[in-house]
Amino acid sequence: MYWTEIDTPIDPLLLVGDETGLHRLHFRPYEPPAGLARDDEVLATVVTQLREYFAGERVDFDLALQPVGTPFQTKVWTALRDIPYGRTTSYGELAAELGQPTASRAVGLANGRNPLAVIVPCHRVIGANGSLTGFGGGIERKRWLLDHERAVLAGRSGAAVSAGLW
């Protein structure tokens, strides 16, 4: 396993992975994992795609992902990748799509344990009333990511979002 960092408009991100794929993405504050070596080459594709995303040039990630979780968590994380760029869904809607309409809390818990935020877009899940709820990176980052995607879809640049012009 290796790690690298990438500067982004929502603060630096720490990436942890190996030749098989990306295992984790961390928001600040973080410490580089003890016992792991920094290797910018192994995770270069991840860095490139994240830069493209933040520049408004990428709406889908094409990466090998290796998140570790329970079968239910993995099912939720897979469903998150099906939420279209710039769109949102609620925890209840996501639970219903998974065939478990009474499992919105369980979906919320799995969403909160997503080890690959941004790439596995847990920020696209909101409260039933439209509120921005629960995001491991903080509500401000969640708001930024949603605004960024909407701005890109509206034809505005990601730079306009990061400058607070959206």
The H or E element spanning position 71 is: helix 71-80
**Which are the catalytic amino acids?**
122
User: What average pLDDT does the structure give for the chain?
Assistant: 91
State the helix-helix crossing angle for 104-112 and 71-80, rounded to 10 degrees. 80
pLDDT at position 160 is 46
**Is it the case that residue 134 has pLDDT exceeding 90?**
no
Residues 6+ apart with CB under 8 A from 148: 9, 54, 56, 158, 161, 162, 166
CA 67 to CA 16: how far, in whole Å? Answer: 10
State the pLDDT at residue 100: 94
8 Å CB contact between 101 and 90:
no
For the chain, which domains are there? 2-55 (3.30.160), 71-158 (1.10.10.10)
Q: 3-state DSSP call for residue 154?
A: coil
d(CA 97, CA 82): 11
Is residue 15's pLDDT more than 60? yes
User: Where residue 166 falls among pLDDT bands split at 50, 70, 90?
Assistant: very low
Band of pLDDT at residue 156, cut at 50, 70 and 90:
low
